[in-house]
A and B are shown apart, each in its own frame.
Chain A
Amino acid sequence: MNCPIQSRDPEKLVAYAAGALDPESARALEQHLMGCADCRSMVADQAAVWQALNAWEAPPVSPDFDERLYRRIEQGVPFSWWERLTRPFRPMSLRQALPLTASAGVLLVAGLLLYHPDYIAPAARSGEIVRANQVERTLDDLDLLRQFGTADSGESAHPDAR
């Protein structure tokens, strides 16, 4: 096969066989075809292929195709992970969603307030202060008793001194 068109520009022959070549190029190619048996044979074969492919009609589309599609769109079959995640909330109207969101917010704030490991309730703190005062007072009382005890024992230690 020494034909320059077949080796360098075979798509021109394909386009010609399909009737897709512009008139000027088609005329030039026809001139070439008159003297090139290889190209003539290829064009004839390609035209036969084109004709055979033309005969392949696709079946008609089902009449309910659109209806099925719109149903699927309305159902909103989840597609991405985000859609799958947010899908349960999507059909909910604003009126339905607002009280739920508000309740969830209140619960969240309450939870945060209640769960505070460093938080010390005021009642507990005053209890501790009371307990510390009591201990102090008890220690003072013990001191006093000790002093009394020392005084008593001092008096009884020198009974003859009077």
Chain B
Amino acid sequence: MHADAQPCMEPGVETHMGAAAIAAVAAIGMLDYDAELMLRVKDGDGACFGVLLEKHRASVIHFIYRLVQEQAVAEELAQEVFLRVYRSRSSYEATAKFKTWLFRIASHLALNWLRDEKHERGQERLDDASADLPVRQVSDRRPTVEQELVYAVRLREVRLAVAALPEKQRTAVLLHKYEEMPYAQIAKVLECSESAVKSLLYRAYETLRARLAHMEST
């Protein structure tokens, strides 16, 4: 049992955790700490949901943001992701890693949103998305106006290149690059084979190399 599990564990919770739940955790081969927390949420320990939210909030929002490229939409969809997690607690089964399940929900919601919005918006929306630019860390040496401009241009180019990728390739790249997921886990999120993921990533990076490799010298 993980020592970090203590903050969300009320006295006696462990004994309340059903035998079926424990068997389910054992069935996934190793104790996926998040799955264990989710099983406690299932058993009525609401504090464990807070721990899961704290742990995955930023990565889920950032993942959705890079898919849909609108911060307000990303937060709204992330709310829906965590709501779904909370509401499906009673039927939760630890058959896969919690993170895989979480990102499967997130990618489904984000891709559905993109499909719904596709007819209404084009890539030109990226042009006026400057409000979503991240607040850069202020260091001792403040960036000059010119550096800020170069950064904005580079960022726009990266965003356009990623946005131009087909949905599945884009999702695979984001999971691989930013979530550092192995091929097998990406395959489970995207519900495809591992070799399909390799192919998706190969084609995606080939396209990105063609569009972004020149940025090396800038």
**Interface set of A (CB-CB < 8 Å, partner B):** 10-11, 14, 18, 20, 42, 44-53, 55-62, 65-66, 68-69, 72-73, 77, 79-80, 83
Residue of B nearest to A66 (CB): B53
Q: Are B134 and A66 within 8 A (Cβ)?
A: no
Q: Are B216 and A51 within 8 A (Cβ)?
A: yes
Contacting B198 at CB < 8 Å: which of A11, A47, A49, A73? A11
Q: Are B205 and A46 within 8 A (Cβ)?
A: yes
Q: Are A59 and B213 within 8 A (Cβ)?
A: no
Q: Are A61 and B61 within 8 A (Cβ)?
A: yes
Contacting B71 at CB < 8 Å: which of A53, A59, A80? A59
Residues on A with C-beta less than 8 A from B82 are: 69
Residues on B with C-beta less than 8 A from A55 are: 151, 154-155, 158
Whole-angstrom distance between the alpha carbons of A53 and B212 in the complex?
A: 9
**A59 and B202 contact, Cβ closer than 8 Å, known pairs A66-B53, A66-B57, A68-B79:** no
Residues on A with C-beta less than 8 A from B180 are: 20
Whole-angstrom distance between the alpha carbons of A80 and B90 in the complex?
A: 13
Question: How many B residues have CB within 8 A of the partner chain?
Answer: 44
Query: Is B87 part of the binding interface, using a Cβ–Cβ cutoff of 8 Å?
Result: yes
Q: Are A48 and B79 within 8 A (Cβ)?
A: no
Scan residues 181-218 of chain B and give those whose CB is less than 8 A from a CB of chain A. 183, 198, 201-202, 205, 208-209, 212-216
Residues on B with C-beta less than 8 A from A59 are: 65, 71, 132-135
Whole-angstrom distance between the alpha carbons of A60 and B57 in the complex?
A: 11
Q: Are B202 and A56 within 8 A (Cβ)?
A: no
Whole-angstrom distance between the alpha carbons of A49 and B173 in the complex?
A: 11
Q: List 14 A-B contacts (CB under 8 A).
A: A14-B201, A42-B209, A44-B216, A45-B213, A48-B215, A48-B216, A51-B216, A52-B212, A55-B158, A60-B134, A65-B79, A66-B57, A69-B79, A72-B79
Whole-angstrom distance between the alpha carbons of A52 and B205 in the complex?
A: 12
Residues on B with C-beta less than 8 A from A45 are: 209, 213, 216
Whole-angstrom distance between the alpha carbons of A75 and B214 in the complex?
A: 51
Whole-angstrom distance between the alpha carbons of A149 and B208 in the complex?
A: 125
Residues on A with C-beta less than 8 A from B132 are: 59
Min CB gap A37→B, angstroms: 15
Residues on A with C-beta less than 8 A from B209 are: 42, 45-46, 48-49
Residues on A with C-beta less than 8 A from B65 are: 58-59
Q: Are B57 and A49 within 8 A (Cβ)?
A: no
Whole-angstrom distance between the alpha carbons of A19 and B44 in the complex?
A: 42
Contacting B208 at CB < 8 Å: which of A11, A20, A49? A49
Q: Are B215 and A51 within 8 A (Cβ)?
A: yes
Residues on B with C-beta less than 8 A from A46 are: 205, 209
Query: Is B5 part of the binding interface, using a Cβ–Cβ cutoff of 8 Å?
Result: no
Inter-chain pairs besides A44-B216, A51-B215, A52-B157, 12 sampled, C-beta below 8 Å: A45-B209, A48-B214, A51-B216, A52-B212, A58-B61, A58-B62, A58-B134, A61-B58, A61-B61, A62-B75, A68-B79, A73-B83
Residue of B nearest to A9 (CB): B198
Whole-angstrom distance between the alpha carbons of A45 and B217 in the complex?
A: 11
Whole-angstrom distance between the alpha carbons of A49 and B201 in the complex?
A: 13
Min CB gap A73→B, angstroms: 6
Residue of B nearest to A78 (CB): B87
Contacting A53 at CB < 8 Å: which of B58, B158, B198? B158
